[in-house]
Structure 1
Amino acid sequence: MSPSTYIGRLAPSPTGLLHLGHARTFWIAYERARAANGKLWLRDEDLDPQRSRADFAAAMREDLQWLGITWDAEMRQSERIALYREAMEKLLREGFVYPCTCSRKDLQQATQAPHEDSEDEPIYNGRCRSSSAPIAALAPNTNYRFRVPDGEALRFIDAHAGPQSFVAGCDANADFGDFLVWRKDGLPSYQLACVVDDAAMRITEVVRGRDLLKSTARQILLQRALGFSTPGYFHCDLMRDDTGVRLAKRHDALSLRAMREAGLSTQDVRERF
């Protein structure tokens, strides 16, 4: 097969050990890239300064390689703050964002990807919304939100989950509201960093869990504001434990490291997907 234009990515966070659910999602991403004879990036999403650890970063690389997954290039988000800031300044100049003093809990979660069984970013009531006039510069020690278009339905076709539609706005009819893009500690939100990196890596398809379907709508707005193209999306079904709870890093017994140490082979693990 000749090389294709397909470019995918694996995007683990070094905040814990990879578990069986991660393994299946990353295996699907690897298989889709391989089937397309494309390329695959490994993106180390290490923006959470309190939870990211070097030993987890090393473990995730070892576990992925043990599973049989290979990649063509690597990127670390902590080394790209200047690029996120450049994108943020463009959003400021063009009036897409505004400073916000609300919701400490939102700010604590802003560098992390939202998940189905945790509170998604609450629909913001617009209390700090200002005019859409451009802002001259990024102020220090300030949080910023993206001003969503009220009432607009963001639609896309997911390669696995099918047609999707999420309404933006600040009322009870909306699926999501003005969302955080920059924190006062000088870090971008998950949404902004993801969009900037996907564009820089020229990703053609994003493979991830279906708990991030709503995040795709937010990211489409950011892509549009920044002049980036929108990649394709494939949101995998989530794996759950025996009680129906989505697998998470707290499920230590189902981490790849624990299963390896218990003597399971790569084939044993893949058969659980």
Structure 2
Amino acid sequence: MGLRGEASAAWFQPNLGANVSPAPLPFSPPYVGRLAPSPTGWLHLGHARTFWEAHRRARAAGGRLLLRHDDLDRDRCRAEFIAAAEEDLRWLGLGWDGAPLVQTTRRPRHRAALERLHAAGLLFPCTRTRRDVLEASSAPHESEPDDEPVYPPAFRPPEGTATPPLEERITVNWRFRVPDGRELRFLDGAAGPQAAVAGRDFGDFLVWRKDDTPSYQLACAVDDAELGVTEVVRGEDLLRSTLRQLLLLEALGAPAPQYRHLPLVRDEHGTRLAKRHDALALRTLRGQGADPAGLRAGFAAELGERPE
């Protein structure tokens, strides 16, 4: 299915204080969830717990669960990590419906969405580096250390500047212009009410990179919408990304899913798990004889869910 909406600025009407999230649970069938690992390393316990919860909720709702490999990172994604993720998920007792999807195969759909946003006048080209933004005195840092810094409004093109056309092969970064001062709110299924002000808590963000690759924000929003995903279950480190994706979905006239952001799994030092934590990788635990049923029971206890 394609995204709804005509190529005009009417897709996006800033409405201060508007709640752009969908209604809270319960869902109207059919429920569609998704597992979306990024094949840049081995899956660890944090991924496993999130994917277990996504699987549990899909099965409890009698719905479908898709597997989509988010492989946009050309430098770090490897085929062996895709194969390993599927093997680890099966070992953990998690299944999915239909053939696995690979995000880069959907690039034409991402490009089509980019062109619609461009036609609506919602994008601008950006030649500033991340260092430029970080060093800007008026650019406060956002909550997550690996999140995008707030883009300074002074870096935007001057008012009235004509937007250049999109190149066939893009060689410059393109950003989405956020509606300054607009408060966005949504009710998260796990983290509760969320609110942020565009232009203050997060700024203009990348939708297409100068290496001719869609950004995570655009690809994720487009794929979730076009694949009919009704609920996204992921880690709480992506709460800020949800606000950006809600703006993109609204601008594209696409329905927004519901969201459920889980607390992060941390190591004994309180550091959130990353793919460099080889000792807690599923493939390592498998090799040590870990019991997948025991892991699932532990996830249920941690999340306050009923054991299987």
TM over 0.5: yes
Q: 2:232 aligns with which of 190, 206, 213?
A: 206
Q: Report if aligned partners of 1:93, 1:135 keep a CA contact under 8 Å in 2.
A: no
1:164 aligns with 2:194: yes
User: Residue in 2 aligned with 1:41?
Assistant: 66
Measured in 1, the distance between the counterparts of 2:42 and 2:36 equals 14
Q: 2:172 aligns with which of 136, 142, 147?
A: 142
Shift in Å at residue 222 of structure 1? Answer: 0.3
Shift in Å at residue 128 of structure 1? Answer: 3.6
Once the two structures are overlaid, the 10-residue window that deviates more, 204-213 or 263-272, is 263-272
1:67 aligns with 2:95: no
Once the two structures are overlaid, the 10-residue window that deviates more, 233-242 or 117-126, is 117-126
Q: 1:27 aligns with which of 38, 52, 59?
A: 52
Shift in Å at residue 117 of structure 1? Answer: 5.4
Equivalent residue runs for 1:211-226 within 5 Å? 211-226=237-252
1:189 aligns with 2:215: yes
Q: Report if aligned partners of 1:96, 1:132 keep a CA contact under 8 Å in 2.
A: no
With over 3 angstroms needed to count, the CA separation of the structure-2 counterparts of 1:167 and 1:117, relative to structure 1, is closer
1:16 aligns with 2:38: no
Q: Report if aligned partners of 1:203, 1:231 keep a CA contact under 8 Å in 2.
A: yes
Measured in 1, the distance between the counterparts of 2:146 and 2:67 equals 27
1:55-98, Cα deviation, whole Å (9 max, x unpaired): 11100000001101100132111111111111001110001110
1:235 aligns with 2:261: yes
The two structures have a TM-score, normalised by structure 1, of 0.90
Measured in 1, the distance between the counterparts of 2:145 and 2:107 equals 27
Give ranges in structure 1 of 5+ residues lacking alignment. 108-114
User: Residue in 1 aligned with 2:124?
Assistant: 98
Measured in 2, the distance between the counterparts of 1:262 and 1:91 equals 49
Shift in Å at residue 106 of structure 1? Answer: 9.4
Shift in Å at residue 134 of structure 1? Answer: 7.3
Shift in Å at residue 119 of structure 1? Answer: 2.8
Measured in 2, the distance between the counterparts of 1:49 and 1:63 equals 22
Measured in 1, the distance between the counterparts of 2:77 and 2:160 equals 35
User: Residue in 1 aligned with 2:281?
Assistant: 255
Read off the aligned partner of 1:61 and give its amino acid letter. Answer: E
Measured in 1, the distance between the counterparts of 2:97 and 2:161 equals 42
1:76 aligns with 2:102: yes
Shift in Å at residue 184 of structure 1? Answer: 1.1
The two structures have a TM-score, normalised by structure 2, of 0.80
User: Residue in 1 aligned with 2:148?
Assistant: 121
Give ranges in structure 2 of 5+ residues lacking alignment. 1-27, 134-141, 300-308
Q: 1:151 aligns with which of 162, 166, 181?
A: 181
Measured in 1, the distance between the counterparts of 2:230 and 2:49 equals 20
Once the two structures are overlaid, the 10-residue window that deviates more, 157-166 or 134-143, is 134-143
Bigger Rg, which one: 2
User: Residue in 2 aligned with 1:110?
Assistant: none
Q: Report if aligned partners of 1:150, 1:168 keep a CA contact under 8 Å in 2.
A: yes
